A and B are shown apart, each in its own frame.
Chain A
Amino acid sequence: MNEWSTDGSQIQAAIGGDHDALSAVWREHRRWVAAILIAHKPRETDLEDLLQVVAMQVCRKMSEVRDPNLFRPWLRTVAINAARGEGRKVNTRKRGMLRFVGFEHPNRRGVSDATHANGCSDDAKRVLAAALQLPESYREPVLMRCLKNMSYKQISAVLELPETTVETRIARGRRMLREIVQINDQQSEKQQQRELNKQSSMSDASASAISGGAR
């Protein structure tokens, strides 16, 4: 897939209210929308819920797009706003959450339900966690490139950047990713070592206390 299968005329038809064209346009673009959402959403937010929000916005606001060439950057902005809006809600909920006892918010789901990477290997989750630590301008192209066959040209159309810039950002982003994973691994090793030392010092202390008591 070197080019989009939906061309400008189809996007124009979707803007004009052709629901078949709108469905086709959405189907072609929803995967990279998911990548953008992952790049910006809070960890505990459900990807599917956010995709539904974006889908609804596409239906409601599509007619406001004036130029078919600007559709993809517009869709990216819609996705980013949806993810950030959810981030603000999550922060508000975390700051002070009062509930009536026994009252369960209907939209609340467990954190484990929210991560789309549940079925993935531990290594994949670890790399994704590191990728989400990348600066924003590197995070998006690196993740989009991992969608099957999304070309530099397509990524550049979404990000409104020259292809060469996209290629450079992906290359640098991958280097940063290697460094972040390395640092994270070193930190977790140190943490494990500290816990081991703590456990051994505690067992030494209890052993000496027992021997002291026996004396």
Chain B
Amino acid sequence: MNKEIHQSDDSYRPQREGGAMKDDQRDELISRVVDGCAGADDWNQFRQIAAEDQQIWSDLAVAQSQYEGLCETMHSAAATADSVELPGGMIRHAQHQQRFEFVSRWGGWAAAAAILLVWVTSMGNSQTNPDAQRQNAGMVPIGSNTMLQSATPEQAMDQYIAAGYQAGRVVGEIPNPILVETRPMDDGTFEVLYIRQILERKILDEVYRETNDEFGNSIPVPIQDAPKQVRSF
């Protein structure tokens, strides 16, 4: 029976002797009584049906009880919902959303143009400067004499990626950073928070799968036979 219910949505028709129309009418009467919006006509019809079908009273009682049970859980959900406000910092952001959309629409082209300009400039430099040629030969262009202590964050990051790649620790950087939030600043600029994703690899002696014990506690279980491929997190 349960299976039958799940097979179809709108095509579902309860199987009863009186036919689908009569059943729908019966269900709607029960539903209106449960909702407390049954009028005099509805009650007359209800009594007429109840004269032939005593089961309707039992169905009404069950429907009423189930409705109250669901109201109880929805009341709890509503209380949870009432505690969730809009994130404060982002409301102001919404005010600037349209402006930001304009900027981002044209900002992409501006960024592309800037990258092209930098590339063309560096091409010109590399043809005349032998140091620059050596830099471009590497995977990540960093100053050959740049020490980590004096490096800018970008240079240090590039250095980490290059060193990690050579050591086999870093596989690569995911090209598209994840945008977390944009905040308009007082001076008309935008602060952009984003996540850079670096893919790393590690060789481990053994791996564990997380599972739950009979009490629902999380426990690690060693994997005996190495799976062909397991994706984590």
Contacts and interface: CB of A to CB of B under 8 A. Distances in A.
A65 to B, nearest CB: 11
A18 B95 CA distance: 7
B93 A60 contact: yes
Nearest to A145: B35
A41 B150 CA distance: 50
Contacts of B233: 93, 97-99, 105
Interface residues of B, number: 63
B28 A99 contact: no
A183 interface: yes
Interface residues of A, number: 76
A172 to B, nearest CB: 6
A126 B31 CA distance: 20
A123 B68 CA distance: 10
A189 to B, nearest CB: 15
20 contacts: A30-B84, A31-B78, A38-B73, A47-B77, A55-B86, A59-B86, A60-B93, A98-B233, A99-B232, A116-B77, A117-B73, A117-B76, A120-B76, A127-B69, A133-B5, A146-B74, A172-B27, A174-B34, A175-B23, A175-B59
Interface of B: 1-2, 5-6, 8-10, 12, 14, 23-24, 27-28, 30-31, 34-35, 59, 62-63, 65-67, 69-78, 80-87, 90-98, 101, 207-210, 216, 218, 220, 227, 230-233
Given A23-B86, A99-B232, A110-B216, 4 more contacts: A148-B75, A171-B24, A174-B30, A179-B5
